[in-house]
């Protein structure tokens, strides 16, 4: 009799827990016709003392402009892919960020830009790498996705295809900024004069100079479809032909309606080695961990332990926004259809 009682009690307990889980899932369901967008402008040695009030204002205003551009697309019933493009275009056109107009210089004093975009509904994706004359690389990535049977095109091939489909091409002089050139000279000067001495200081200078600026966005539209995109100029003084995580689907960018959309920024080699964006999605889908736990696991216990630094933004299938970073700061912000909006740049507040 005692065994029967314990068995019945166990069954009731299991049923009760199951009902609680179902109620929990119901609470997490996305509000019909809701939409949201989250963006980043890079992560790294971003400390308040490094920026004047005027500079902080400039970054905040540009981040807000980028958010508004994508939000407007979503508000009018547009698809998440178009919202991603509109948002990233704003940041690519600004010299404030390491993408498009503000792209950093490689070791040969030239810019090589990368970008990718992904559709969470179909898992279709497109990317370009090592391009020099495409004004807005994110647009070229979309062309690769929509108008070819490939996922990634690089260099000359990517530029030929972009021009064929009417993407604006520019002379390399368009991307010149004195700030980025000075960063290159500063780093190359240190390499020559302090090659073996104060290596630790040089490493930290590099973090401050070039490990932030990559831009990215994730959006969910009124139909519940998620899209993600990332665009970058890479690393200052990078070797000619180096490709980071930004154009690599699953590393720097990933979107899947079953879980979430993600855009990454930071030391790309480590995001590639951990397949970071896809790893976060897998943890959510198969381990059933929360988005915040998944981000922390990948950034701190995987990337961080290898010596990597950076951050990630995430928007899940319910329209909830998350972000995390193991660096000192990350330019970031979001805007949701329920009126909730935020822009942050420095230490974590949530």
Decide if 148 contacts 128 (C-beta within 8 A): no
The Cα 138–Cα 263 span in angstroms is 13
Q: Which of 227, 39, 222, 218 is nearest to 120 (CA)?
A: 227
Residue with tokens 């490493």: 203
Q: Any idea which residues carry the catalytic annotation? A: 214
The Cα 132–Cα 204 span in angstroms is 28
Decide if 281 contacts 262 (C-beta within 8 A): yes
Kind plus residue range of the DSSP H or E element containing 314 = strand 310-316
The Cα 310–Cα 299 span in angstroms is 7
C-alpha angle 144-147-152 in degrees, rounded to nearest 5: 20
The Cα 340–Cα 287 span in angstroms is 29
Alpha helix (H) ranges present in 194-290?
199-210, 268-273, 276-286
Kind plus residue range of the DSSP H or E element containing 81 = helix 80-92
The Cα 113–Cα 79 span in angstroms is 25
| 171: its two tokens | 């002379």
CB under 8 Å to 36, separation ≥6 — which residues?
Answer: 74, 219, 220, 315, 319, 321, 334, 335, 336, 337
Residue with tokens 């930004």: 246
Decide if 241 contacts 95 (C-beta within 8 A): no
Alpha helix (H) ranges present in 165-210?
178-193, 199-210
């Amino acid at each position: 009799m005692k065994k029967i009682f314990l068995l019945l009690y166990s069954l009731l307990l299991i049923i009760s827990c199951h009902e609680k889980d179902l109620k929990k899932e119901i609470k997490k369901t996305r509000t019909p016709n809701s939409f949201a967008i989250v963006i980043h402008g890079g992560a790294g040695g971003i400390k308040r003392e490094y920026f004047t009030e005027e500079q902080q204002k400039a970054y905040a205003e540009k981040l807000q402009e980028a958010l508004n551009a994508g939000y407007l697309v979503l508000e009018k019933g547009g698809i998440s892919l178009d919202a991603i493009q509109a948002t990233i275009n704003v940041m690519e056109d600004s010299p404030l960020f390491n993408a498009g107009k503000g792209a950093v210089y490689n070791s040969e004093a030239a810019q090589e830009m990368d970008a990718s975009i992904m559709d969470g509904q179909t898992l279709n994706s497109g990317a370009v790498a090592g391009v020099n004359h495409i004004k807005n690389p994110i647009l070229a990535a979309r062309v690769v996705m929509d108008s070819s049977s490939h996922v990634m095109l690089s260099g000359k091939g990517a530029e030929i295809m972009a021009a064929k489909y009417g993407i604006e091409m520019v002379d390399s002089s368009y991307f010149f900024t004195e700030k980025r050139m000075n960063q290159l000279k500063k780093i190359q000067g240190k390499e020559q004069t302090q090659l073996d001495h104060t290596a630790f200081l040089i490493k930290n200078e590099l973090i401050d100079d070039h490990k932030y600026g990559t831009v990215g966005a994730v959006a969910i539209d009124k139909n519940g479809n998620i899209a993600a995109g990332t665009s970058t100029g890479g690393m200052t003084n990078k070797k000619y032909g180096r490709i980071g995580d930004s154009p690599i689907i699953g590393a720097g960018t990933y979107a899947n309606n079953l879980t979430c959309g993600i855009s990454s920024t930071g030391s790309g080699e480590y995001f590639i080695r951990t397949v970071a964006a896809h790893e976060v999605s897998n943890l959510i889908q198969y381990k059933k961990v929360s988005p915040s736990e998944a981000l922390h696991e990948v950034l701190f216990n995987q990337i961080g332990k290898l010596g990597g630094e950076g951050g990630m933004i995430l928007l899940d299938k319910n329209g909830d926004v998350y972000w995390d970073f193991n660096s000192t700061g990350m330019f970031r912000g979001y805007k949701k259809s329920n009126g909730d909006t935020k822009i942050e740049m420095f230490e974590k507040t949530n």
